[in-house]
Structure 1
Amino acid sequence: MEVTLLGTGDTTGTPTVGCDCDTCTTARENGVERSRFSVHVRNERTDESLLVDTSPDFRRQFLDHDVALPDAALVTHIHFDHLDGLGNAFRLFSDLPVHAANETDPKTGESVADTVRGKYDYLDALSVHGQRPLESFSSCGFDVTFVPVSHPPLVCYGVVIESDDAKLAITGDTNYGIPDESRARLADADLLLADAIAPAAFCEHHPLGGDHHDADGTPRTFGTKHMTCEGALSLADELGATETRLVHVSHFFPADEAFAEPLAVDGERYVL
C-alpha cells in the first residue's frame, strides 16, 4: 500500500490567500504548502488507486505529485474542502465509482451518498455507491470501512483501508469525542492520519474555547469540530498506531512549530 498525502491543510490551506502571518510567510518563503485535504492510496499489487476525499485543489494536486488518477473515490462528508473537487471528474474519467456513507443525516435529511449523487448528477462518469457505516466493502483490492466520528452539526466519517499486510486509518474531520466502536476500528494502524487543526493554546481565540480537556486541563478539541494537536496525539497514543501524521492543519500554529514533526505537509509518501 502506497499512501501519498496530496492535501494536508484545512479549509483555507496554508499559505492562506491574503494572509501575511508569520506561518503563511514562512510557507511561501520555503515553498511549503498545505492544500485542502486529500489522500491517494495505491494498491501496489493491482496498480489500482483510491482517492480519499476530492479536494477543490484536485487539479493542482495531481499536476504537482507523481500519482495516477484514481480508479475509485471515497467521500467522508459534504463540506466544501472535502467534496467540491469532484467536479474535476468532467472529461477526466469514463467511469469513477464514488463511495460514501448511506446513513441519513438528521441535519440535512439525506445521506452523504445522497448529497453527492444529487450535486453531481450531471456527471455521467460518476456512479455513487452508498455504504453502511462500520461495514467493510471492497474497492481497488482493499477492504474499506467508513467509521462514524464527531464533526457537528453534520455526520462525518473516518476511514479504515486495509490489505493483507497493511492498515491505514484516517480519523476524518472530528473532535476528540469519537465513538468507542469507531476507535476500535481505527486502532493498531500502520499509519494514522489524525485531524489536528490547531494547538491547544489557540483555543483561547475560538468563540467556544475548547472541549474534551485532559487531566491537566488541556483541551483536546478546538471549538466543537476538530481536534487540537494535543488531542490528536492523545488519540494516537490510545489507538497504538505504528506511525502518526497530523493533517487538516491550519495556519494557526506558530511559525516555529507549524512545520515540525509530526505535522504533515503536502507530498509526503509512505509505503505500508
Structure 2
Amino acid sequence: MQVTLLGTGDTTGTPTVGCGCDTCEAAREPDEAMRRRLRERGVPEEYGVERSRFSVHVENERTGECLLLDCSPDFRHQFLRGDVALPDEAVVSHIHFDHLDGLGNAYRLLESLPVYAADETDPKTGESVAETVSSKYDYLDRVSVHPVSPFEPFETCGFEVTLVPVDHPPLVCYGLTVRDPETGATLALSGDSSYDVPEASRAELADADLLLVDGIVPARLCEFHPLGGRHEDEAGTPRTFGTKHMTFEGARALADDLDAADYRLVHVSHFPTPEEAFAEDAALDGERFTL
C-alpha cells in the first residue's frame, strides 16, 4: 500500500490567499532548515512547502488500482504536481466543500468514478452523504454513487474499507480504515472530528500502521475561539478546538489512545507559529508512506 498525502491543510490551506502571517510567509519562502526537512521527509521538490485542501491517494501496488480518499477542490493542482495516477474509485467522508468539491474534476478526465459514501440520514440535511453527493453531482454521468453502511466493510481497489462515525457537528462525518487483506497493512483516518470519537469507532481505528489525525491548532489558541475549547485532559488542556476539530494536543492524545504505529497531524491551519505548524509530526503535502 503506497499512501501519498495530496492535501493536508484546512479549509483555506497554507499559505492562505492574501495572508502575510509568519507561517504563510515561511511556506512561501522556506529557509534552508525547512528545505532540509522536506528532503528528509521525501517530499518531492515540486511540492514545496504547502498544505492544500485535504485528500489522500492510496495505491494498491498488487493490482495497480488507486483509491482517492476525499476529493479536494485542489484536485487539478494536486494531480498535476504529484507523480500519482488518477483514481479508479473514491470515498467521501462528509459534505464540506474542502472534502467534496474536487469531484467536478471527473468531467472529461475519467471514464468512470465509483464513489462510496455513508448511507445514514443526516438530521441536519435530511439526506445521507451518499444522497448529497448523488444530487449535487447528478450532472456528471461518469460519477456513480454507492451507499455503504458504517462499520460494514466494503471492497474497493482490492482494499477492505470501513467507515466509522466521528464527531464533526453540525453534520455527520466519518473516519475510515483502509486494509490490505493480503498483507494486513492498515491506514486509518480520524476524519474531521473533535476528540469525542465514539468508542466503537475508536476500536475500528485502533492499531493502524499509519493514522492521519485531524488537528487544526495548538490548544493555546482555544482562547480565540468563540466557544473556547472542550474535552480537557487531566491538566486542563483542551483536546477540542471549539466543537469541530481537535487541537494538536488532542490529536496526539488520540493517536496515543489508538496505539498507532505512526501518525501525522492533518487539516492543519496557518494560525500556529511556523515552529508549531511545521513540527515533525505535522503532515505536509507530498509525504509518502509505504505500508
- TM class, shorter-chain normalised? over 0.9
Distance, in Å, in 1 between the alignment partners of 2:10 and 2:275 is: 19
Larger strand fraction of residues: 1
Deviations 1:15-66, CA, capped at 9 Å, x for gaps = 0001000000000002410000000000010010000000000000000110
Counterpart check, 1:36 vs 2:53: yes
Distance, in Å, in 2 between the alignment partners of 1:169 and 1:268 is: 16
Residue 185 (structure 1) shift: 0.1
- Matched to 2:170, the amino acid is P
Residue-pair matches, total = 272
1:45 to 48, 53, 62: 62
Counterpart check, 1:211 vs 2:230: yes
Residue 255 (structure 1) shift: 1.4
1:92 to 109, 117, 123: 109
Distance, in Å, in 1 between the alignment partners of 2:276 and 2:100 is: 29
- Matched to 1:117, the amino acid is S
2:178 to 161, 176, 186: 161
Q: Which residue of 1 aligns with 2:23?
A: 23
Distance, in Å, in 2 between the alignment partners of 1:133 and 1:127 is: 19
- Matched to 2:255, the amino acid is A
1:80 to 83, 88, 97: 97
Distance, in Å, in 2 between the alignment partners of 1:205 and 1:80 is: 24
Deviations 1:195-238, CA, capped at 9 Å, x for gaps = 00000001011000000000000000000000000000000111
Gaps of 5+ in 2: 31-47
Q: TM-score, normalised by structure 1?
A: 0.99
Distance, in Å, in 1 between the alignment partners of 2:53 and 2:157 is: 23
SS at match of 1:219: coil
Q: Which residue of 2 aligns with 1:183?
A: 202
Q: Which residue of 1 aligns with 2:158?
A: 141
SS at match of 1:256: helix
Q: Which residue of 1 aligns with 2:257?
A: 238
Deviations 1:75-97, CA, capped at 9 Å, x for gaps = 00000100001000000111110
Deviations 1:118-157, CA, capped at 9 Å, x for gaps = 0000001011000001110000000000110000000000
- Matched to 2:134, the amino acid is R
- Matched to 1:201, the amino acid is R
Counterpart check, 1:201 vs 2:220: yes
Distance, in Å, in 2 between the alignment partners of 1:134 and 1:47 is: 26
* RMSD of aligned Cα (Å): 0.5
SS at match of 1:108: coil
Distance, in Å, in 2 between the alignment partners of 1:118 and 1:34 is: 29
Residue 184 (structure 1) shift: 0.2
Q: Which residue of 2 aligns with 1:192?
A: 211
Q: Which residue of 1 aligns with 2:288?
A: 269
Q: TM-score, normalised by structure 2?
A: 0.93
Large movers: runs of 4+ above 6 Å: none
Q: Which residue of 2 aligns with 1:118?
A: 135
Distance, in Å, in 1 between the alignment partners of 2:102 and 2:157 is: 20
Distance, in Å, in 1 between the alignment partners of 2:112 and 2:274 is: 43
- Matched to 1:178, the amino acid is V
Gaps of 5+ in 1: none
Distance, in Å, in 1 between the alignment partners of 2:290 and 2:71 is: 22
The percent of aligned pairs where both chains have the same amino acid is: 70
